[in-house]
Structure 1
Amino acid sequence: MRCLLLSFDYDNYAGGKTKLEDLKGKYVYIDVWATWCGPCRAEIPFKKKNEGKYHDKNISFVSISIDVQKDMEKWKTLIKDKELGGIQLFADNDWNSKFAKDYGINSIPRFILIDPNGKIINADALRPSAPKLEIQLNTLLN
């Protein structure tokens, strides 16, 4: 079942803020994660591979960190050191951010796939390491 997605408006590592509405017209694959999360970090190589494979397709890869505010510099350092791509955002209130609460996010990593109209395709999408994710993205994007 698809439903309208509630938005976000978070600080972007590249500068400024990014809202979901800024990405309208594209598929959006959201990764909710934190720097301290081992399973989240284990997905990084797979996420980078997907970003490379689909860089010229109609999809944006968005990572939303729910690290606590005091760890923002740690987040920035990890993005730089791991050469993370995509759109890197920092949630406004860690686990208590409106986005995390609205989606009942109580464990990470969590992935969400959204269509170009801003509707949820899957609120608990496959991880980048799941081979079937590539099949799903190919079906949507080709």
Structure 2
Amino acid sequence: VAYFHKNVSDQKLVAKFDNICRQWEGLKAGNPSPSFNAPDINGKMVSLSSLKGKYVYIDVWATWCGPCRGELPYMTKLEEQYAGKDIHFVSLSCDSNKSAWEKRVQKGDMKGIQLHLGTNSDFMQKYIINGIPRFILLDREGKIVKADAPRPSDPQTTKLFDELLKK
């Protein structure tokens, strides 16, 4: 940051840089998470605040995303492994084509809480999500544990969950 400020004199660039830095600061562990309010497959609105009391593992994904689809079997395994434990598994679809998301969810093989966020998401902007899949882990009070959590396929994920669930 100091190097940037020392070497860049264009005030518009400095302002943009400082804004991005403030955004990243807001995503530090322990800070309250940006919120969301999105419909499930039945149209029921689900908000982040309604999930308080358990850890929340969020998968931001889309049906057209190959790496996202590649993580789905691992997500299912995690959900089965931690069924009945103190953790919600939430999949937030950023599909612009809601019917593609509905069709995928209606297959019935996806567990957890399935929500359609769409493309114009304040939640995604606040988390500076420029690529998917993106995984986010929140504590029982909705505070950030990891703004860029490991993927379900990463063995570190179960280690992280086991450590947190001991608390």
Alignment TM class, shorter chain as reference: over 0.9
What TM-score do you get using the length of structure 1 for normalisation?
A: 0.93
Deviation sequence 1:81-140 (CA, Å, 0-9, x none): 25111001111x41x310010110000000000000110000000000001100110111
Instruction: Encode CA deviations 1:52-74: one digit per residue, 9 max, x unaligned.
Output: 01111010000000011xx1111
> Helix, strand or coil: the match of 2:63?
coil
Tell me the secondary structure at the aligned position of residue 43 of structure 1.
Answer: helix
What CA distance in whole angstroms lies between the structure 1 residues aligned with 2:150 and 2:157?
A: 6
TM value normalised by structure 2: 0.80
Offset from partner CA, 1:21-43 (integer Å, 9 cap, x none): 11111000000000000000000
Looking at structure 1, the residues matched to 148 and 42 of structure 2 have their Cα atoms a distance apart, in angstroms, of: 27
CA RMSD of aligned residues (A): 1.1
Give 1:79 shift: 1.4
Per the alignment, in what secondary structure is the counterpart of residue 60 of structure 1? Answer: strand
Q: 1:89 aligns to what?
A: 115
Larger Rg: 1 or 2? 2
Contact 1:63 1:89 (C-alpha < 8 Å) held by counterparts: yes
**Residue in structure 1 matched with residue 161 of structure 2 by the alignment:** 137
Provide structure 2 residue ranges, at least 5 long, that are not aligned to the other structure: 1-28
* CA positional deviation for 1:14: 4.1
Kindly indicate whether residue 140 of structure 2 is the aligned counterpart of residue 112 of structure 1. Answer: no
* Aligned partner of residue 74 in structure 1, secondary structure: helix
More strand by share: 1
Q: Does 1:64 align with 2:92?
A: yes
* Correspondence list, 1:1-142, <5 A: 1-68=29-96, 71-81=97-107, 83-91=109-117, 93-94=118-119, 96-142=120-166
Q: Gaps spanning 5+ residues in structure 1: where?
A: none
Q: What number of residue pairs does the alignment pair up?
A: 138
Counterpart residue identity of residue 57, structure 2: Y
